[in-house]
Structure 1
Amino acid sequence: MTLLSQQISGFIENSSWIRKMFEAGIAMKKQYGADAVCDFSLGNPDVPAPAQVGDILHELADSAQEPFAFGYMPNGGFPWARQIIADLVAKEQGVDVSADDCLISCGAAGAMNAFFRAVTEPGDEVVGVAPYFVEYGFYTSNHQVSFKAAMSKPDTFELDVDAIAAAMTPKTRAVIINSPNNPTGTVYGRQEIEALAALLDAKSREYGRPVFLVSDEPYRFLAFDGVEVPSVLPLYDYAVVLSSFSKNLSLAGERVGYVCLSPRMPDRGRLMAGLMLTNRILGFVNPPVIGQHLLKAALHAQVDAGIYEKRRNVMARVLRDAGYDFLMPKGAFYFFPKAPGGDDVAFCQRLMEEKILAVPGSGFGGPGHFRLTFCVGEDVIERAAEGFRRARG
């Protein structure tokens, strides 16, 4: 087997459980019919985008023949679009942010890859909090950087700062947090983040180079029951916020996101220049033209979060009636129940026999659990109730 074949085989063997179950769902729907399968595998928002999205698309169609309507731009996006992002982040984070602190990229995934390419060297390490979004490991390995998981606190999924400290070494270049969290639905509290910031500040001094705090925030808009999603930029000089508009504007396929640097970060202009370069040389070149115009029209609108809250309550009732052990999600659109019997892969197989698609927690570094997304209709959740009962036994 050639080296290329070995690399490809490795990627296939370690491919995302999310995608495996999503593709299994496609096959099952062909076999049994879409209405017979309850697919809770992929966090693909089904709530329609705000009306402003359709309006601006009509306007763009009318202007499509203008010179350079869809031409190149600065690698970080149109200056006016970067200013829009700066205004948004300033409001959310409670700090003064300028357009020069923000770069728009091809989704939060593109922004994260550009960031790691700019700040890491082969052999560096990045620490993430488990359970975690599985793609983080691939994003770091793209740049020959190791991903290390530090477990959150059992049962509550709160940050375990001691576990993060134990995972860090002088090779650690960044720590990633994701709140509201995919897959657990937890929201890290302000005191937890302050404790993490204090740890990273101490480790940065010890290592003689900054350890970045990367906050991945695509679900910031979706917190329930009045729960606050704390801001990270005011709490740590080397904090970085990444996000996208896949969830709050239902634009997952448009691939538009951003990275914003803390205005307190020393020499941040140099880092931003590096991000401009890496955004280009990784092949993104510049963010989508249409996506930036959509932001201009719809940024201050968003999908109806109340729809997700109703679905959360329906799924909680269905799971509770079927006898599952779970934490009520504080944000995002996922449940992460315990797998009856403890073997999450085997239990997800039992669910498949009931034509229910879920993702094993092992795929997120959280074995013994399984993930359910509730970005599906209430009718789908209700229809799955009997299958959940039978699978549990």
Structure 2
Amino acid sequence: MINQMYKDMLNGKSIIRQQSEFATELGKKIGYENVFDYSLGNPSVPVHEAYTKTMHHLLDTLSPAELHGYSPSLGNTEVRTKVAASLKQRFGLDYETKHIFMTSGAAGALAHALRCVTQPGDEVITFAPFFPEYCEYVGKTGAVLKVVPANTKDFQINFEAFEEMMNEKVQAVLINTPNNPSGIAYSEETILKLTEIMDKKQKEYGHDIFLISDEPYREIVFDGKASVYPSKYYDNSLSCYSFSKSLSLPGERIGYIAVNPKATDADIIAVICGQISRGIGHNCPSSSVQLAVAEVLDKTSDLSVYEENMNLIYDELVKLGFTVVRPGGTFYIFPKALEEDANAFCMKARKYNLILVPSDSFGVPGYFRMSYCIDTEKVVRSLKALEQFVKEEYGVK
């Protein structure tokens, strides 16, 4: 018999995917260049040329077995060593090879991290707005996801609600900064207060509480700033990273977990993740891609287009009277809809070939997400459609 739980999931299809699929079908009718598709967070900038050159070099010089054979279960040892050295240089933590576990993207990293520090029935806390798949990532471990209501003023953490929700069942706190969907980057002040509370609660409850930091947008930050690195502020931390956004490699599915060297059992967490892989089959990411990214760890694609697009959209939204917090990074913006029902708002936008994502599944009703990883020329054209939409549907002048 087919597992009923997964059959039931077919009725809860991601609204992001639904909107993306509608955009694809609409594109077949009117030409996709005329669809202003802000649904899917698929990086639009080219992969860094150094990655491409490296891959060509590897293909020309290494044997098929080296390129395409299984990597060790924890990841290629040389690659792990290079990742550790890069992180140590960048963030000043004493990472070693043993603290790195290679994964199939940030999703694979989270799958392992959550299983490593929780057991069925434990609680994991995250903060709205949040990536909807966290419900599945956490729920399928047997743990329970608890969501702290959003601080809609600036989308930093609602600390009063967070402290009220903390209890002895909480084994992990899951954060995402810079954040999907809000685009907000947590400030150093926010991280300091968060980790201060977590450290206090660890001592009060007499057990570890791990900070799991989901960081695929770490390199996409605006205004010349750098992302705050949460692991610098809290010992029991697991940094979950993906090269999908920094190098525009989402289809290659490559990332890692970096275990804070001061964490409890830091020397064996990567080994434990290797054992977790035996149960979930989420192991041994591509050998050739591991080798290639190891040569370009400190490079990024040209990510400047995302900030350019953000400024264009943010300025237009403000001009049209939307309530919107200016993003500090990523390629998402999260305005308040012009009516309480964000789903109705986004359905009306379809008439203007605008594909937007309503916010209910992100844990904050009444908003919508725009993923602006599209060509700037298309962004500019979409602003006229946005203006027409709100003037005709909502009487905005």
What range is the shorter-chain TM-score in? over 0.9
191-200 or 219-228, larger mean C-alpha shift: 219-228
What is the TM-score when the length of structure 1 is the normalising length? 0.95
Q: Is the 8 A contact 2:334 2:368 kept in 1?
A: yes
How far has the Cα of 1:245 moved from its partner? Answer: 0.3
Among 124, 127, 133, the alignment partner of 1:126 is 124
How far has the Cα of 1:26 moved from its partner? Answer: 1.2
Matched, 1:225 2:223: yes
CA distance in 2, matches of 1:43, 1:130: 18
CA distance in 1, matches of 2:388, 2:235: 51
Among 68, 71, 78, the alignment partner of 1:70 is 68
Please tell me the residue identity of whatever aligns with 2:248.
S
1:42-61 to 2 correspondence within 5 Å?
42-61=40-59
1:1-393 to 2 correspondence within 5 Å?
4-5=3-4, 7-63=5-61, 65-392=63-390, 393=394
| Cα RMSD for the two superposed structures | 1.7
Q: Percent identity?
A: 32
CA distance in 1, matches of 2:90, 2:291: 21
Please tell me the residue identity of whatever aligns with 2:272.
G
CA distance in 2, matches of 1:144, 1:32: 45
Aligned length: 391
How far has the Cα of 1:339 moved from its partner? Answer: 0.2
Q: Is the 8 A contact 1:101 1:268 kept in 2?
A: yes
Q: Once the two structures are superposed, what CA deviation does each residue of 1:187-241 show, in whole Å capped at 9, x if it has no partner?
A: 1111211111111112222222211111111111111113342222221121111
CA distance in 1, matches of 2:10, 2:90: 38
Q: Once the two structures are superposed, what CA deviation does each residue of 1:221-271 show, in whole Å capped at 9, x if it has no partner?
A: 111113342222221121111110000100000000111111111321232
How far has the Cα of 1:322 moved from its partner? Answer: 3.0
Change (3 A) 1:3 1:72: closer
Q: Is the 8 A contact 1:151 1:163 kept in 2?
A: yes
How far has the Cα of 1:320 moved from its partner? Answer: 2.9
How far has the Cα of 1:63 moved from its partner? Answer: 4.3
What is the TM-score when the length of structure 2 is the normalising length? 0.94
Q: Is the 8 A contact 1:248 1:302 kept in 2?
A: yes
Q: Equivalent residue of 2:171, what SS? A: strand
Where do 5+ consecutive residues of structure 1 fail to align? none
CA distance in 2, matches of 1:298, 1:228: 19
How far has the Cα of 1:277 moved from its partner? Answer: 1.1
How far has the Cα of 1:8 moved from its partner? Answer: 2.9
How far has the Cα of 1:356 moved from its partner? Answer: 0.8
128-137 or 86-95, larger mean C-alpha shift: 86-95
Q: Once the two structures are superposed, what CA deviation does each residue of 1:16-72 show, in whole Å capped at 9, x if it has no partner?
A: 221121111111111222122110111101100111122122223324654443112
Please tell me the residue identity of whatever aligns with 1:47.
V
Q: Once the two structures are superposed, what CA deviation does each residue of 1:89-125 show, in whole Å capped at 9, x if it has no partner?
A: 2233321211111111111100110112222211111
CA distance in 1, matches of 2:387, 2:7: 37
Change (3 A) 1:68 1:386: closer
Q: Is the 8 A contact 1:311 1:378 kept in 2?
A: yes
Please tell me the residue identity of whatever aligns with 2:191.
I
CA distance in 2, matches of 1:299, 1:31: 42
Q: Is the 8 A contact 1:124 1:171 kept in 2?
A: yes
Misfit runs of 4+, over 4 Å: none
CA distance in 2, matches of 1:140, 1:288: 25
Q: Is the 8 A contact 1:64 1:70 kept in 2?
A: no
CA distance in 2, matches of 1:152, 1:228: 24
Please tell me the residue identity of whatever aligns with 1:329.
P
CA distance in 2, matches of 1:90, 1:214: 19
